[in-house]
């Protein structure tokens, strides 16, 4: 019980919210949720190779720290993560296609991956920052990062770049994502589902729940490699899942709807455990995801949070 109270304290810290729950007409909200669901299904049906590869903890942590340091809205960070993933998948695919055969023959000791890494390692921090820059330009409630601030910030990190270099990198990423910046992220899914939950269950303190959801989502996003690994082992009932099982499981790791639902379920467990079953049932009704799948994933997240709280104590 002590661990549960520690967990509640850890995730109850206030987060600035731009949301005002209950103001959106339900018919608009319902249409928006249906649209999100269709987009999510289409995305999962055509997942590109290497999906999720560029969402490791250090990369996500760096993005979150940049948004925090520059006082950007949290939504910018989640958006930048998705832009980076989309750009890097295409960029790496293009690089693989353009590696000269003679270059590989000369560097027999190196794999294709090594060659690509050598080419990217110096550019990657600037590419990552460019994704944050582009994401900041999509949110009217959030100030954009001007060139002077960007150059000064990068200099503080030991990266000496000019405004022109910064612009070139931003344009490269912009072209790489085919000029489509309005990608959807896990925070959007969580917010919309929570809004629908508040409409269907007026007794739920969704504004308080929202603060905890933010922290749970950030925790899962930072630790997604270990959390999804635990979920895969639990689902497959195998300590060492096969390559085929891992490849098939990508549709779970990239499912934004599932993540948004389970984050809300975990936050409910923390804030008002007595309503857990009721909320899980309603979340299942809202999204069509089974109670069992929601409960299984939520329990894996809760175990990781408890382990983290115990280690920190």
pLDDT value at position 98?
Answer: 72
CB neighbours (10 Å) of residue 34? Answer: 10
pLDDT at 5: 40
What is the model's pLDDT at position 123? 87
Per-residue confidence of the chain (313 residues) as pLDDT tens digits? Answer: 334 444 444 444 333 445 567 778 888 899 999 999 999 999 999 887 777 788 889 999 999 999 999 999 899 999 999 999 999 988 888 877 776 654 544 454 455 556 666 677 788 999 999 999 999 988 765 677 888 889 999 999 888 899 999 999 999 999 999 998 888 899 999 999 999 999 999 888 899 999 999 999 999 999 999 999 999 999 999 889 998 999 899 999 999 999 999 999 999 999 999 999 999 999 999 999 999 999 999 999 999 999 876 666 5
Structure tokens at 77: 């960070």
> Minimal CA–CA distance to 280: which of 303, 256, 255, 263?
263
pLDDT score for 25: 84
What's the pLDDT at 181?
86
Instruction: Tell me the pLDDT tens digit for each residue of 256-273.
Output: 999 999 999 999 999 999
Which pTM was predicted? Answer: 0.86
Q: Would you state the pLDDT for residue 3?
A: 44
**DSSP-assigned states of every residue in the chain:** -HHHHHHHHHH-S-------TT-S-HHHHHHHHHHHHHHHHHHHHTPPTTTTTT--HHHHHHHHHHHHHTT--HHHHHHHHHHHHHHHHHHHHHHHHH--HHHHHHTTTS-HHHHHHHHHTTTHHHHHHHHHHHHHTT-TTS----HHHHHHHHHHTT----HHHHHHHHHHHHHHTTT------HHHHHHHHHHHHHHH-TTS-HHHHHHHHHHHHHHHHHTHHHHHHHHHHHHHT-SS--HHHHHHHHHHHT-HHHHHHHHHHHHHHHH-GGGHHHHHHHHHHHH---HHHHHHHHHHHHHHHHHHHHHH-
pLDDT digits (tens, 9 = 90+) for 209-246: 999 999 999 999 999 999 999 999 999 998 899 989 99
Contact 189, 258 (CB under 8 A): no
CATH topology of domain 57-176: Cyclin A; domain 1 (1.10.472)
**Is there a contact between 130 and 169 (Cβ–Cβ < 8 Å)?**
yes
Asked if 37 and 44 count as a contact pair (C-beta separation under 8 A), the reply is no
Residue length, the chain? 313
Confidence (pLDDT) at 261: 97
pLDDT the model gives residue 154: 92
pLDDT of residue 264: 98
Q: Taking the domains of the chain in order of start, what are their residue ranges?
A: 2-47+184-312, 57-176
């Amino acid at each position: 019980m002590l661990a549960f109270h520690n967990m509640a304290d850890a995730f109850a810290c206030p987060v600035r919210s731009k949301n005002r729950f209950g103001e959106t007409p339900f018919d608009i909200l319902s249409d928006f949720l249906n649209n999100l669901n269709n987009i999510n299904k289409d995305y999962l049906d055509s997942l590109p190779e290497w999906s999720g590869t560029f969402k490791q903890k250090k990369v996500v942590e760096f993005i979150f720290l940049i948004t925090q340091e520059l006082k950007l809205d949290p939504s910018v960070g989640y958006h930048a993560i998705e832009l980076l993933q989309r750009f890097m998948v295409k960029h790496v695919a293009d690089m693989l296609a353009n590696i000269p055969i003679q270059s590989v023959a000369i560097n027999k000791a190196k794999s294709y991956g090594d060659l690509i890494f050598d080419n990217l390692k110096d550019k990657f921090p600037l590419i990552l920052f460019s994704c944050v820059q582009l994401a900041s330009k999509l949110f009217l409630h959030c100030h954009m990062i001007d060139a002077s601030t960007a150059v000064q910030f990068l200099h503080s990190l030991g990266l000496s770049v000019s405004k022109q270099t910064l612009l070139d990198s931003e344009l490269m990423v912009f072209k790489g994502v085919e000029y489509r910046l309005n990608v959807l992220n896990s925070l959007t899914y969580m917010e919309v589902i929570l809004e629908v939950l508040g409409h269907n269950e007026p007794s739920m303190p969704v504004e308080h729940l929202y603060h905890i959801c933010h922290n749970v989502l950030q925790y899962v996003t930072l630790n997604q490699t270990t959390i999804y690994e635990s979920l895969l082992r639990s689902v497959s009932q195998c300590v060492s899942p096969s390559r085929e099982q891992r490849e098939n499981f990508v549709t779970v790791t990239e499912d934004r709807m599932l993540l948004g639902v389970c984050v809300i379920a975990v936050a409910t467990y923390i804030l008002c455990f007595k309503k857990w079953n009721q909320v899980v049932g309603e979340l299942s009704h809202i999204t069509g995801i089974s109670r069992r799948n929601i409960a299984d994933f939520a329990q894996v997240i809760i175990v990781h949070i408890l382990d983290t709280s115990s280690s920190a104590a």
